[in-house]
Chains A and B, each alone.
Chain A
């Protein structure tokens, strides 16, 4: 028995020492080359991956590790010093600024409502659109419960199955903000992560959810993801989708609509990069690049680039 214990202790000691050595070895190796750690919003993730790729081409010595986990994770990681840059796809709360959150705005995109492409009243939804009030009644009040009620066809009694995000995230925060509420007020089954929510709606004929445009539209084809349909918003509330409200077919169209303010803000919103204190060293260089040369890749990645004066403000803030 004692022999076994002794062996275990020796084994444990070896493992611990080995891991310390390995950690030191790898971390010094990484320091020499420089690693920028980034985590946070699913909305900004594809954009950040593109930026990281391009930046590493320019400066192969810099390594950029990007992980997605929701805006809340980005904020928490950044404030805890676990990452150099946190991606936060919602407003920064005063409480967070108080804790040392420093942020710059880098691009803009939007959250859209999504339904299944085999929805029983798909054509009515697409031609009439949904008003903010109807969305409110579905997502907050819960007094519109069938698809018939949504489009004014009482004979359609299929129930609405509402999906929301379970993780603390910018998409939910903005969708709730559009409806004048907080994420905690959104009804529905909570699904983890942006891709998870797309899957849930795709698999449920009667489902409705909301997604960042980066996940509602296919990166390569620019079209809506197969199996889901983006719900047009009836902004003018006249009971139909007018030509100037009809811009959901491709990602390019909706990006143009967001730029020209045809798609309401919220659910359109700016994307922020956050750190604790100030950006420093290679992380600062990277953020500066994102705000200057990096802006070239914004449009081609399906995001909305910011006006020049906003960019200049951000650059000044970065240097302040």
Chain B
């Protein structure tokens, strides 16, 4: 069992090592600061600047988190604290089901619904013209995809808060909402933060659904109505050209390595928070 555990964690290290080894070529010909801070992406001219892609990823992910975090927290509070158990028994599996839908289906849905909506209605309201393939479309589809993950984890965390915490608060004369707000939420905070971070990790690395609606233009977006080009889409779209130019191959590997490190960092952070909360209630 131990060896199986070690083996599975070794896979991550093995992936990282392969990516690192493959990216040495690009790192030896371009400085890291040039790669990260230049927004000129012309592989055939040997120019590899990730800046537009990094900023694009952050825009789309940030927007998704801004849209999804508050509603999904409210939903998980409702499910954990207010909903009758029968209703929870229906809603919870549905939310879990949402988390399991293949991302290409979300992508299609957004392509058919969100993109035209933004082009024809939202853009007119905002007084801009756009193709609909925008940061906004990517952010919305990601928000929908992240919501079930955040709800699922934070609902578990809230329900894991021990009963005595609620009873003590109620005994002091607090209302139900006051109890939730001041006692339960405080106790569950690290876990909720972990839920949000897990959602962020998911959003950061999501490829297909975003790729289909975000426009894939390697330019730094300046508003939500601009197209963007997140890193996962860069890799997915261009791995076909990898074989043609050696440094292209290497540049995509480095992009993959960056992506892996960021997502890994967030997962570790979330895990640490969750371990912390577990320890607090099991031991203390």
Contact = CB atoms under 8 A, between A and B. Distances in A.
B244 interface: yes
B244 A96 contact: yes
B223 interface: no
A184 B111 CA distance: 23
B82 interface: no
Interface string A171-198: 0000000000010110011111000100
- Interface magnitude class on chain B: 20 to 34
Nearest to A69: B240
A190 B237 contact: yes
A11 interface: no
A189 B238 contact: no
A90 to B, nearest CB: 10
A9 B1 contact: yes
A204 B119 contact: yes
Contacts of B240: 69-76, 167-169
Interface string A151-170: 00000000101010011110
Contacts, number: 84
Contacts of B26: none
Interface string B232-264: 010001111111111000000000000000000
Contacts of B203: none
Contact of A191 (B4, B119, B133, B244): B133
Report the 4 A-B pairs with minimum CB-CB distance, sorted nearest first: A72-B240, A190-B216, A168-B240, A166-B216
Contacts of A167: 237-238, 240
A104 B274 CA distance: 57
Given A79-B243, A166-B216, A190-B217, A184 B43 contact: yes
B284 to A, nearest CB: 20
A189 B217 contact: yes
Given A72-B239, A166-B211, A166-B237, A204 B131 contact: yes
Contacts of B229: 190
Nearest to A94: B244
B243 A184 contact: no
16 contacts: A5-B1, A72-B240, A72-B241, A73-B239, A75-B240, A76-B242, A95-B246, A166-B216, A185-B42, A189-B133, A189-B215, A189-B216, A190-B217, A192-B211, A200-B133, A204-B132
A204 B116 CA distance: 9
Interface string A74-91: 111001000000000000
Contacts of B241: 72, 168
B122 to A, nearest CB: 15
A74 B246 CA distance: 18
B116 A168 contact: no
B212 interface: yes
B227 A189 contact: yes
B80 to A, nearest CB: 24
Contacts of B43: 184
Contact of A75 (B217, B227, B243): B243
Given A9-B4, A199-B111, 6 more contacts: A70-B240, A168-B239, A192-B216, A192-B237, A200-B133, A203-B116
A72 to B, nearest CB: 2
B217 to A, nearest CB: 6
B279 to A, nearest CB: 15
A14 to B, nearest CB: 14
A207 interface: yes
A96 B243 CA distance: 7
A25 interface: no
A202 to B, nearest CB: 11
Contact of A159 (B4, B44, B129, B243): B129
Contacts of A203: 116
B175 to A, nearest CB: 38
Report which residue of B119, B244, B245 has the largest number of chain A beta carbons within 10 angstroms of its beta carbon: B244
Contacts of B42: 184-185
A190 B215 contact: yes
Interface in A59-77: 69-76
Nearest to B215: A189
Contacts of B239: 72-73, 76, 168
Contacts of A161: 131
Nearest to A77: B240
B41 interface: yes
Contact of B238 (A168, A196, A207): A168
A99 to B, nearest CB: 6
Contacts of A93: 244
Contacts of A71: 240
B252 to A, nearest CB: 11
B243 A99 contact: yes
Central interface residue in B42, B116, B216, B243, by most chain A CB within 10 Å? B243
A63 to B, nearest CB: 25
A75 B244 CA distance: 9
Given A184-B42, A188-B217, A76 B1 contact: no
Nearest to A80: B243
A21 B211 CA distance: 36
B106 to A, nearest CB: 14
B225 to A, nearest CB: 12
Interface string A37-79: 0000000000000000000000000000000011111111001
